[in-house]
Amino acid sequence: MSATNAGKVAVLMGGRSAEREVSLMSGQGVLSALQAEGVNAQAFDPAQRDLSELRQEGFTRCFIALHGRYGEDGTVQGALELLGIPYTGSGVMASSIAMDKTMTKRVWLAEGLPTPAYVLVRRAQLDSVSVAQLVETLGLPMIIKPAREGSSIGVSKVLKAQDVQAALAAAAQCDADILCEQCIVGDEVTCPVLGEGDTARALPIIRIVAPDGNYDYQNKYFTDDTQYLVPSGLPAAEEAAIEALVVKAYQVLGCRGWGRIDVMIDAATRQPYLLEINTSPGMTGHSLVPMSARAAGISYEALCSQLLASAALDNAQGSTN
């Protein structure tokens, strides 16, 4: 697909989720890149405009640069299916499952893929939660996070049992479902995937070295203290095994277009554990997919063009384009 036959492209950015500000940064980067490639691309914020305007104004494709709820969870994807406008990234079901960390873990476990042990706590159960039982099941330290947020929003690493309730309460402010997870201590890596089905391929792994091992919202987006190592420095066989695992994890969820999977490697056993998948990853100046693509010889502009070219519908027969 060339810029001339991409048609009129809407870059969906902003939205209504807790990750709105990050999405605006991602969207502006994508918009500038596509325009630099000669694409007739325009910004479109679903928080400020009705999606029906996409069809009314003749948009033929959408590049989804939304993050979190109402953008990465299958809702926007479903609306675009109804409008018949192809979009980047995963379809309705894969987006919906991947947004829910608990559902994602259930699918991975059903497929025999390694992911840390977990306990799901509902917001309505907070008063009756047995901290002692959680600690006995998952050990300390423990990770507590909302089941359906990204960008490390509402995430706590709990070192002491007396801090569990506060961490649960913080996560409950973001979501009715709270994921309590075994903390894997070791190397933290992330690996992007491009493509669909048998053609899906991993981009180079990035090893993340955050201050005090704390890869939080601040260290993700607003400081330069976190180190991102690509090449990762991992042994070649270990890196190849992780890439194969990540591609399998992407495929079993039915993802397409692109995604990024976070992995922890147990320091003692070197066993990799799948943490979560992002089906609409960040495209900011600090974002990891562009960094990995660059290491593979793919420029930011070329990456955006490639993703736009992969725009599709779950039900292609519904397309009017």
Among 90, 96, 278, 287, the active-site one is 278
Number of H helices, E strands in the chain: 11, 13
Active site residue 282: yes
Dihedral sign (CA 106, 110, 111, 114): positive
Residue 248: how many other CB atoms lie within 10 Å: 16
149 an active-site residue?
A: no
For residue 213, what are the contacts with CB-CB under 8 A and spacing of at least 6?
188
For residue 229, the surrounding DSSP H or E stretch is strand 227-229
Residue 201: CA count within 13 A, CB half-sphere: 6
Cβ contact 192:292 at 8 Å: yes
Which one is catalytic: 87, 118, 215, 221? 221
Give the separation between CA 302 and CA 299, rounded to whole angstroms: 5
Among candidate residues 14, 15, 19, 273, the one labeled active-site is 19
Query: Residue 148 and residue 73: Cα distance in Å, rounded?
Result: 9
Catalytic residue of the set 262, 287, 292, 300: 262
Residue 262 appears among annotated catalytic residues: yes
Which of these is catalytic: 23, 26, 95, 151? 151
Calpha distance 7→155 (Å, rounded): 40
Residue 266 falls in the annotated catalytic set = no
CA-to-CA distance for 235 and 51, rounded, in angstroms? 47
Q: Which of 14, 29, 74, 282 is catalytic?
A: 282
221 carries an active-site annotation:
yes
- The residue length of the chain stands at 321
Taking a C-beta distance cutoff of 8 angstroms, is the pair 179, 144 a contact? Answer: yes
CA pair distance 170, 179, nearest whole angstrom: 12
Complete DSSP assignment for 46-106? TTTS-THHHHHTT--EEEE---STTTSSSHHHHHHHHHT--BSS--HHHHHHHHSHHHHHH
Which one of 91, 260, 280, 310 is the catalytic residue? 260
**DSSP conformation class of 9:** E
Q: Which of 100, 188, 276, 314 is catalytic?
A: 276
Specify whether 19 is catalytic.
Answer: yes
Residue closest to 282 by CA, chosen among 188, 194, 192, 153: 192
Which residues are known catalytic residues? 19, 151, 221, 260, 262, 276, 278, 282
